[in-house]
Structure 1
Amino acid sequence: MIRVRTCNHTRPSSKPLRHLCSMLFCIQNKIHTSGGFMSAERLYAYVAHGPRDLSVWAMSGTGDFSKLQELPINDRDLAPGTPIGRFAALCVSPDRRFLFASDRAAPYGIRSWAIDREKGTLTYLGDSPAADSSPYIITDPPGNFLLAAHNPVDPDRRTGFVSVAAIREGFVQAPHQVIRTPPKTHAIQVDASGRFVLLPCCDADVVVRLRFDCRTGLLDSDTLSPLVTRPGAGPRHCVFHPGNRFAYVNNEYDGTIYAYSFDPRDGAMSEIQVVQTRPASAGPDENVRVGDLRISPNGKFLFTTVRSGSTVVGFAVDPRTGLLTSIGQTQVDGEARSLAFDPLGRFLVVNGRLTHTAHTYRLDGETGALDKVSAFRAPDHPGWIELVNLS
């Protein structure tokens, strides 16, 4: 990596030096954005497989993968009837030193690993108890707390939960706060300021909004009203725009995506748009089983998976208004489920759960078009994917 010091010379003779600095800055920027210089990058993928296993992969600058490691998320015999589709959720700490996974087989827990910054491989640290089965985990921006959305396995328990647990040098502690939420709480996101939390709840047609205190690690459930969707929509996942002025929620049942304005000063939100991802072949009342939702690192593109049609649906994001414009659908083999952008936004990786494969698509930075460049066979039922640059 080329490092350039800021040039503060003001004498006329310094003009060539300033020109050289400008050239070096452009070269440095090209290294990080063009994909033309890949030797300095160390890209790795962490993939969960069903409720039990985890694999580690090295990713090349052309989007190819080579397997490095396989590890258990839990070491127990699973109870008869444990659904293979109940995937563990993964989360990487903001400093990229640790990986966390939710163990969704009872007794529920969170497993922690240390990430080798040179090799990308994982070293087991320990397990901690969880409040219930967790389909989504995330840290606050500083990485001091792990927040989890919980969806109880028992269908007769018409409830959900959100929990907060402290992180101490990669070791997740037992939850110090658990708050009851509406049924089938399926995801959790924290805004860039670390002050506001969103919780989509599929079976209540609401997105719960909470304040969060990064100093104490406590949620306040009494100050913000929920966002209400149309009946039967089924809010599943959500993302904040990198600029922290907009948020997006996809709906599992009716296939819509809601766009919201967001004010990071007080958490105020307003619905600004509803778009559709439903396949043309789907009936008007069919559950289209929308899955993951991801936004590109630069905030220009939004993608979601539609499991019933095994498609990835993309939208361009207007940076001024936050409004979405369709850029089409891409067919994916074997039930598209989870998505992940590489940290520089050049590739989108999509798993095919039923064919046990993951597919790499090159992302056109201008149009958002996807061009399939690679595929790799993963262990059974690949689910959650995290891509990390350890350079």
Structure 2
Amino acid sequence: MSQHNKARQYVYVSNAKDGTIVRYLLDDHHRKLVFLGRTPAGDNVMPLAVSPDKSHLYAAIRSEPFRVVSYRIDSASGDLLVEGTASLPVSMANIDTDKSGRFLLAASYGGDLISVSPMNEQGVVMADAQQVLPSGRNAHAIHTSPDNHFVFSTSLGDDEIRQYRFDEQSGHLTPNTPAAVKTEQYAGPRHFVFSKNGQYVYVLGELSGTVTTYALDAKTGLLTLKGVSEGVPAKALSLENGVPPFMTADNDHPKIWTADMHVSVDSRFLYLSERTTSAMVTLWIDPMTGLPSYQDITQVEQQPRGFALSVDGRFMVVSGEKDTNVGLYAVDIPSGALTKIDTAPVGIGANWVEIVAF
């Protein structure tokens, strides 16, 4: 039996409008998503995160009382068992753990802030946030650097990425110097990912459809602009880019509205979802420069809010906020091409996707 067939991979999808997390088995041998069940979570459950040791799934509830639920993942069945609930300062658009699995980071779009919450020795968030910091307008994502020494967060409303030093022992954040780097005006930085070698940070513009590439200095934790690449082919799709929510496109074209982004396991491709046209864009990353360029586009589920790649990189699961199914796609590793191979029923308002392998 090949190595990839030995792994048991579970897929978790949060459904904001019916307050559930749907569970699947990713059967890579039969190339199917096997529905396992629904776990009640709470109204407007959205961002998910997985602990570094894969023992826990965390779900942020974006309805009052704002909170995070810690679930123990049963590695034999994929079932989720509630082990703790802790309050969050406000509604959080994004959550993640630090690399040690001792702290939960959160970013609030509406509250314009980020927070750090402690976990106990079992990996459960049990206490209120120990630190809350202003983030600039519309914080949308927060992650530690690969070495766990620094933290970055996006400010969609201010077109910038905030930079912090991170004390992994105490969990304390301190603004770096400078405290932020800019993107282009009205890019609307949303999600971001690191290259597998940790040299680059790719930032997705929700409003522009561009990918801004920064070089990451591992010693200082500072970002340096390297280039801006077209991600979503606006003209080909008759979309208008760089139009903020308070403005209307001059030509009445629909606006670009990207959502999620992930890098392939070999760091050769970037994938980003575009909600207006329900598309997945594939970008090729130049191994010499680290800069991405447009390669292909694939129609996917309606209004794709979230997606995830399997641990081996051979599959992608896509959720659509307005779709009744999630899609399973085969990923051709050499070319990065996507082929739809299965669908499975999902809840209402599907958004975040996580895949955990044991």
TM over 0.5: yes
Q: Equivalent residue for 1:18?
A: none
* Residue from 149, 152, 160 that aligns with 1:195: 149
Aligned-residue offset at 1:297: 2.2
* Residue from 106, 110, 113 that aligns with 2:68: 110
Q: Equivalent residue for 2:207?
A: 253
Alpha-carbon separation, structure 1, partners of 2:217 and 2:322:
40
* Residue from 45, 52, 56 that aligns with 2:11: 45
Give per-residue Cα distances to partners, 1:347-366, cap 9 Å, x unaligned: 11111221221111111111
Alpha-carbon separation, structure 2, partners of 1:195 and 1:314:
30
- Contact 1:138-1:147 within 8 A present in 2 as well: yes
Alpha-carbon separation, structure 1, partners of 2:240 and 2:176:
39
Higher share in strand:
2
Q: Equivalent residue for 2:46?
A: 88
Give per-residue Cα distances to partners, 1:202-240, cap 9 Å, x unaligned: 111111111111111000025333111122111111111
Aligned-residue offset at 1:109: 0.5
* Residue from 197, 208, 220 that aligns with 1:266: 220
Instruction: Work out the number of aligned pairs and report it.
Output: 340
Aligned-residue offset at 1:322: 1.1
For structure 1, list consecutive stretches of 5 or more residues without a partner in the other structure. Answer: 2-30, 79-85, 153-158
Alpha-carbon separation, structure 2, partners of 1:135 and 1:268:
24
Cα RMSD between the aligned structures?
Answer: 1.6
- Contact 1:125-1:171 within 8 A present in 2 as well: yes
Give per-residue Cα distances to partners, 1:223-275, cap 9 Å, x unaligned: 33311112211111111111110000001112111011112121132211211
Alpha-carbon separation, structure 2, partners of 1:47 and 1:300:
26
Give per-residue Cα distances to partners, 1:287-324, cap 9 Å, x unaligned: 31110011122212111111111111111223342111
Q: Equivalent residue for 1:28?
A: none
Counterpart amino acid of 1:48? S
Give per-residue Cα distances to partners, 1:147-172, cap 9 Å, x unaligned: 111122xxxxxx51111111111320
**Any idea what SS the aligned residue of 1:171 has?**
coil
Alpha-carbon separation, structure 2, partners of 1:127 and 1:87:
13
Higher share in helix:
1
- Contact 2:143-2:152 within 8 A present in 1 as well: yes
Alpha-carbon separation, structure 2, partners of 1:358 and 1:375:
6
Counterpart amino acid of 1:377? P
Mark the structure with the bigger radius of gyration: 1
Alpha-carbon separation, structure 1, partners of 2:48 and 2:302:
21
Alpha-carbon separation, structure 2, partners of 1:373 and 1:300:
22
1:50–1:121 distance in 2 versus 1, CA, 3 Å:
same
Alpha-carbon separation, structure 1, partners of 2:286 and 2:10:
30
Alpha-carbon separation, structure 2, partners of 1:165 and 1:87:
18
Counterpart amino acid of 1:175? A
- Contact 1:359-1:374 within 8 A present in 2 as well: yes
- The equivalences for 1:294-333 within 5 A come to 294-333=262-301
**Any idea what SS the aligned residue of 1:231 has?**
coil
- Percent identity between matched residues is 29
* Residue from 3, 18, 24 that aligns with 1:57: 24
Alpha-carbon separation, structure 1, partners of 2:208 and 2:176:
29
Alpha-carbon separation, structure 2, partners of 1:242 and 1:189:
14
Alpha-carbon separation, structure 2, partners of 1:188 and 1:283:
27
Matched, 1:230 2:184: yes
**Which range moved further: 122-131 or 320-329?**
320-329
Alpha-carbon separation, structure 1, partners of 2:174 and 2:283:
33
- Contact 2:86-2:128 within 8 A present in 1 as well: yes
Q: Equivalent residue for 2:103?
A: 145
Matched, 1:121 2:83: no
Alpha-carbon separation, structure 2, partners of 1:360 and 1:260:
31
- Contact 1:132-1:151 within 8 A present in 2 as well: no
- The equivalences for 1:177-216 within 5 A come to 177-216=131-170
- Contact 1:254-1:278 within 8 A present in 2 as well: no
Q: Equivalent residue for 1:283?
A: 240
